[in-house]
Amino acid sequence: MLLHVPAVLTPSEVAEVRALIDAAEWVDGNVTSGPQSALAKVNLQLPEASPAALEAGAKVREALARSPLFMSAALPHTVFPPLFNRYRGGHTFGDHVDNAIRFQRDSGVRIRTDLSATLFLAEPDSYDGGELVIEDTFGVHEVKLPAGHMILYPASSLHRVEPVTRGERVGSFFWIQSLVREDARRTLLFDMDLAIQKLAQDAGQDSPAIVALTGSYHNLLRMWAEL
C-alpha cells in the first residue's frame, strides 16, 4: 500500500520543526546507512542523538498519534524515532531497499521495518528535483508533496531520491513496525476500516450491520496482530 497522508503537521508546526533543525549541526547522511545504501547515498542528516533531532522527532510522533488516517493504515506497534535529512547541490540517494531491522543505540529501540515514511518539510516549488521514486507491483511512482504531508509505503519497496538541482529538499524519515506484518493484510484491514467509517456516517454507528462489520474487523486484527 502506497498512501499519501495529508497535513500530518500544520504550517505552524512545520515552521517550528524547521526552526529547530535548521539551526542544528548537520553531518554526512551515511552515519545511518547500511552497506548497500552507503554506495548510493549523498546527503546531509541530523545526528540521531542531537537535541534538535530528538525535540523535532517528538513533535512528529505527537502529530502521527493525532492522525486517524496514519493510525488506521499503519496499525503501529513501534515508530522508530524520526530522523531528518537535507538534499542540496546535486545530493541524491540511488536505488535501494531499506534495512529489515533498525536499531538505535541511544534509545535501545529495535524494530522490524514493515513500513517506511517520508514527511516533507519544504514546499515543492522551493527546490527542483528531489522526487521520491517508489517502485511497486503497480509501477513507478514519483512523490513530491507539500510541506507537512507524508508518504507511507512498504519498506520492502525499491526506492530512490532524484538529484536536487536547485534549493533544498528537507524532510523527516522513519520506519514503523506494524501490529500486522503483511502488507496485504494491513491493506485489507485499512480498506475495511474506511468502509465501516463511511457506512457508519450513512447508517449510524449503532446499525446492526456496522456492529457486525466492526466485530469482523477486530476479529481479523486479533487473528493477525503480533504484539
pLDDT digits (tens, 9 = 90+) for 167-191: 999 999 999 999 999 999 999 999 9
Find which of 31-35, 105-109, 223-227 is predicted with most confidence, using mean pLDDT: 223-227
pLDDT digits (tens, 9 = 90+) for 100-138: 999 987 778 899 999 999 999 999 999 999 999 999 888
Give the pLDDT of residue 109: 82
The model's pTM? 0.93
Strands 158-161 and 92-96: antiparallel
* Residue 175 CA: distances (Å) to CA of 15, 26, 163: 23, 21, 23
Give the pLDDT of residue 36: 58
What is the overall mean pLDDT for the chain?
Answer: 94
End-to-end Cα spacing for the chain: 22
Q: Which residue has the higher pLDDT, 137 or 33?
A: 137
pLDDT at 3 over 90: yes
Give the pLDDT of residue 122: 98
Separation between Cα atoms, residue 134 and residue 153, nearest integer Å: 8
Separation between Cα atoms, residue 37 and residue 32, nearest integer Å: 9
Q: Do residues 121 and 59 make contact, with C-beta atoms less than 8 angstroms apart?
A: no
Percent of the chain with pLDDT over 90: 85
Give the pLDDT of residue 31: 67
Beta strand extents in 46-112 (DSSP E only):
76-79, 83-88, 92-96, 101-104, 109-112
Separation between Cα atoms, residue 183 and residue 224, nearest integer Å: 11
